[in-house]
Each structure stands twice: as C-alpha cells, then as structure tokens.
C-alpha cells in the first residue's frame, strides 16, 4: 500500500480540510504509486499563513547564528540520509540516481552556506556629512515568505529558497510541485528534526490554481519566490504586484552552447551530451541549442549523432541508465508536438524524434534523445522552451554570428562557449547576454555559493543562491545617530 502523507501546519501534521487527496506516481513505472497526498485549497493556506504570521515575532528576534545552527544541523541530517533521499527522488521524478544524489548534495551545500551567512548579514556604516553624527544600515527580515517550487530539482531548489528565508528571520509557507511532494515532505521533516519551531515552516500540498494562487494573493504573505514557467511567472507577478509584494521569479530559457573551430571537440561533445540530455533535458539551464562553427559542423554532427543514439534509457535507479523518463504524459506529449513542429519547419531530424515504448519503457513516460540539424534562427524549436531531450543545432560562419544567434531569444539564463582562444573567451563573457556563462563547460552545473539567475524574460532580475539572495529576503533599515546635542539639517547646514 502506498504511503500516505500530510500537510504540516502550525506544528501539526494534518490532512487537507476537504479530506481530498491526490496520487504521486513514478514516471518510470506509472503503475507504482509513490504516495498519497492532501489536495489542499485556500482554507488550508489560510491556516498556514496565520501560523507563519504568529510565529514571526519570536523567529525574527532569535539571534541569527542560532537560526544558522539549525540549518547546519539540517545539512548534517541530509548528509546522513543522502542515499535514502536520492532514491526517493528518483522514484518520484525519474532522473538517474547519480543526478538525484547531486540534487541532495546541492541542498547540503546550501544548508552549510546558509548557516555561515547567518554570521554575515552585514549592514554598512558610512561617514556623515555632519559633525558628531553616524550613519548605519541594518538588515531585517521581511515577514512571511511564500515559496513555490518546481519538480525538476525537488530538493535543491526548495533549499535555495527556504534556507535563506529562514536564515534571515522570515517564516515560510511552502507549496512544492504536485509531481514531487514526497521529497519536499522529507525536507520539511529534516528541518523540524533540526529544531525549526512550530509555525515557522508550513507545508501545504496541492495544485497551483488553488494553493499557489491562494499563497500569492494572501494579504499577509509579504514576499513570493517562484521557479517555473514564464507563463505562470507573469501571472504571479501581476497578481502579487497588486499588493506591492516583493517577488522573485526564475523562469524559462533557451540556453545555447557555442562550439568554435578551435575547440576541443571531444570535450565539447561531453558537454553538450550532459547539458542537453542530463535530467532528460528538464532543466531551466539545459542545453537546448547547439551553435556550431561551419568548419567543425559536419564532423561534430557525426560525433553527436552517434553518441546521442547510444544513450541508454531506463529506470533511474538502474546503474546502466543514462537518461530517465520525462515527468508525465502531458510533458511527453508536448515534447513530441515540438518535434513535429521542427520537422514541419524544415529542420532535419538526425536522431530520436519519438517516444520510447520498448519492453519496460512502455511502463513510463520515456522519450528518445533527439537532435535536429539544419535548424535556422527564428524557427520555433530554436526559440521556444521545450523542456525535454530535444537539441536544435545551428551552423554559423564566425564568432560574431554565433554570439548574435545565441542572444537572439527572449531568454537569458545560461550559456556556454568552447574555444581555446582566450580573446574569444573574454569577448564571450562580455557580449553574451545571459546571467551565467561557462567557458569550456556545459550550460548546466551551477554551484550553491554563487548567484543564479538570468536576464530578459528568464526572470525579474533577482538571483537565487550565493550572497545576492540574502538581499531579497531582507529589508534594509538606515539609522542616523546624532550626538551633537543640537539640531543639524542635512543638505542645509553643510558648506563646501
């Protein structure tokens, strides 16, 4: 019998008020029910927000390093349970076990980094323009944070958001993706074991239309952090903006890898295979476009076709598997629709292009790694996010054209260039319009202690990870201390 899970609200595990539930199934074997979860609604969100609001005063007044010790213990527990968490994650979202171990490790790294940042929530001091006066700034928590996360990194992305929010003294209402609620529940259990008090962290399972919308529109939720599609992000930004909430959005992309004529082709091949087909292409940083210099195009395409065709599909728990399933039937249908669009646009299908239904693969939602050649800039498969194992390859004449093609989308998250020319590398760092650029590495592989985010329609300018995320979760308060014993008027009683 499948395990039954609950919400966590105000220090208690509980069912949805309606009593309704939904199933979470293994995308590699749709017959396997991973768990049964509460199908919550706005009433459950109301209880969670109320609990978070009541808990905020005590939590914000706790010394930040004491909050940090809880996050350090969280990292310790995650380390001890890494294999268990990784195996559960593979069962509920499909990516191979080596990747889910990496997903957990990123959460561990984020825990330890957040723990140390609680001793580094620095303000500033600055000279005053007046005598016997001091200027100081401090950082304070904002309030209740609504955290809405996707399914493709069910441990890493929630930790990117929840750990800094808690470190800064905010309380949290957390809605994980309905495709990966079990991993999210385990994360909450670990935080509670580490000592996070009742009401500070609240977990509400359910769909975006009822739970997500209720969080975004609740008047006592002060800030929203969301990772997901651009379409949903625009809706969230519009609704939250009516109440002037602080909003951080990490949205879609169409990342590209450039391979120049002087590149190490074997290294570039390893990079694009990992970037395009790791996590079955279901990463916001996945390599969706490959931009090849004309001098290496034919040779590299032969290398790529042979390697992509040799990738082994299967259950991510098996050591022989290179590529797992896509997340669900709807995702596979969307991917195949884009493949048909590509063929109709005139791109040449080189490898893949169809679901994989042989043997045990028929039990899940598998799609063959797919490569299109002769893709032209402006084609839909070159411009629109597919979020699956589909790679579009474009031929260019030189470096300048490569950069123009890379920049010519509405997105700007990640990018990559393979070259042995240091001058080209530095021009790429300067001219590529993305938040992340890799030199001689794939478009995936962000590290927990560095800012993560993009330009243009990839988001709204905030960053996850690193030191910058702590600015999002805090308010700056400026304090002027005048010990002159008299009225001093800034900008008036000053002569230069």
How far is it, in rounded angstroms, from Cα 327 to Cα 54? 37
Inter-residue contact 428 to 403 (CB < 8 Å): yes
Question: CA 125 to CA 471: how far, in whole Å?
Answer: 17
Cβ count within 10 A of residue 483 = 8
CA distance 56 to 105: 29
Rounded CA-CA distance 435/466 in Å is: 13
Question: Residue with structure tokens 């509405």?
Answer: 410
Residues 6+ apart with CB under 8 A from 461: 453
Catalytic, 99? Answer no
Question: Cα–Cα distance between 186 and 177 in angstroms, integer?
Answer: 14
Helix (H, G, I), strand (E, B) or coil at 368: coil
Catalytic pick from 92, 99, 168, 284? 284
The vertex-462 CA angle with 145 and 287, nearest 5°, equals 115
Answer for the pair 249, 400: CB distance below 8 angstroms, yes or no: no
Reading across the β-sheet that carries 348-351, which strands appear in turn? 348-351, 370-373, 390-396, 287-293, 255-259, 414-418, 436-439
- Per DSSP, helices labelled H in 94-193 are 97-117, 156-167, 181-193
**H or E element that contains 340:** helix 329-345
Among 197, 151, 147, residue whose Cα is nearest residue 172: 147
Query: Under a CB-based contact definition with an 8 Å cutoff, are residues 470 and 128 in contact?
Result: no
- Choosing from 106, 217, 250, 464, which is the catalytic residue? 250
Q: How many CA atoms lie within 13 A of 161 on its CB side?
A: 33
Q: What is the DSSP string of 62-119?
A: S-HHHHHHHHHHHHHHHHHTHHHHHHHHHHHH---HHHHHHHHHHHHHHHHHHHHHTT
Q: Residue 293 gets which letter from DSSP?
A: E
14 is catalytic: no
Q: What is the DSSP letter of 485?
A: S
* 139, 186 Cβ separation under 8 angstroms: no
- Residue 153, phi-psi category: left (phi > 0), alpha (psi -120 to 50), beta (remainder): beta
Q: Are 271 and 418 in contact (CB under 8 A)?
A: yes
Nearest-angstrom CA–CA distance, 129 and 431: 40
Residues taking part in catalysis: 250, 284
């Amino acid at each position: 019998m499948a395990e039954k899970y609950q919400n966590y609200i105000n220090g208690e595990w509980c069912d949805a008020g309606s009593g309704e539930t939904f199933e979470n199934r293994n995308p590699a074997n749709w017959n396997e029910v991973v768990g049964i979860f509460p199908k919550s609604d706005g009433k459950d969100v109301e209880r969670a927000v109320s609990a978070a609001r009541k808990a905020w005063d005590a939590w914000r007044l706790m010394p930040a390093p004491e909050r940090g010790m809880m996050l350090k213990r969280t990292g310790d527990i995650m380390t001890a349970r890494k294999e268990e968490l990784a195996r559960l994650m593979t069962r509920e979202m499909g990516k191979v076990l080596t990747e889910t171990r990496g997903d957990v490790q990123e959460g561990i790294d984020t825990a330890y980094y957040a723990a140390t940042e609680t001793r580094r929530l620095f303000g500033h001091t600055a000279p005053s323009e007046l005598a016997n006066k001091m200027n100081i700034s401090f950082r304070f928590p904002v309030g209740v944070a609504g955290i809405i996360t996707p399914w493709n990194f069910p441990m890493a992305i929630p930790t990117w958001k929840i750990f800094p929010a808690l470190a800064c003294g905010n309380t949290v209402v957390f809605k994980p993706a309905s495709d990966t609620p079990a991993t999210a529940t385990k994360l909450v259990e670990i935080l509670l074991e580490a000592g996070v008090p009742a009401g500070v962290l609240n977990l509400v399972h359910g769909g975006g239309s009822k739970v997500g919308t209720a969080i975004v529109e609740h008047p006592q939720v002060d800030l929203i952090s969301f990772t997901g599609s651009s379409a949903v992000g625009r809706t969230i930004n519009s609704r939250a903006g009516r109440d002037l909430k602080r909003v951080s959005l990490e949205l879609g992309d169409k990342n590209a890898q450039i391979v120049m004529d002087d590149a190490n082709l074997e290294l570039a091949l390893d990079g694009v295979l990992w970037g395009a087909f790791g996590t079955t292409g279901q990463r916001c940083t996945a390599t969706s476009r490959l931009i090849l210099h004309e001098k290496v195009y034919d040779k590299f395409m032969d290398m790529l076709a042979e390697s992509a065709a040799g990738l082994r599909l299967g259950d991510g728990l098996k050591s022989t598997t290179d590529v797992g399933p896509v997340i669900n039937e709807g995702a596979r249908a969307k991917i195949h629709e884009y493949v048909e669009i590509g063929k109709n646009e005139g791109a040449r299908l080189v490898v893949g292009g169809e679901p994989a239904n042989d043997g045990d693969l028929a039990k899940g939602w598998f799609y063959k790694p797919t490569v299109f050649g002769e893709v032209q800039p402006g084609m839909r498969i070159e411009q629109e996010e597919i979020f699956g194992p589909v790679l579009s390859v474009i031929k260019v004449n030189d470096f300048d054209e490569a950069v123009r093609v890379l920049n010519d989308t509405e997105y700007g998250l990640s990018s990559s260039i393979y070259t042995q020319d240091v001058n080209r590398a530095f021009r790429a760092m300067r001219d590529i319009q993305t938040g992340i650029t890799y030199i001689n590495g794939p478009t995936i592989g962000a590290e927990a202690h560095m800012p993560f985010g993009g330009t243009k329609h990839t988001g709204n300018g905030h960053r996850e990870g690193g030191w910058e995320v702590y600015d999002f979760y805090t308010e700056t308060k400026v304090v002027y201390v005048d010990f002159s014993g008299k009225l001093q008027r800034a900008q008036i009683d000053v002569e230069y």
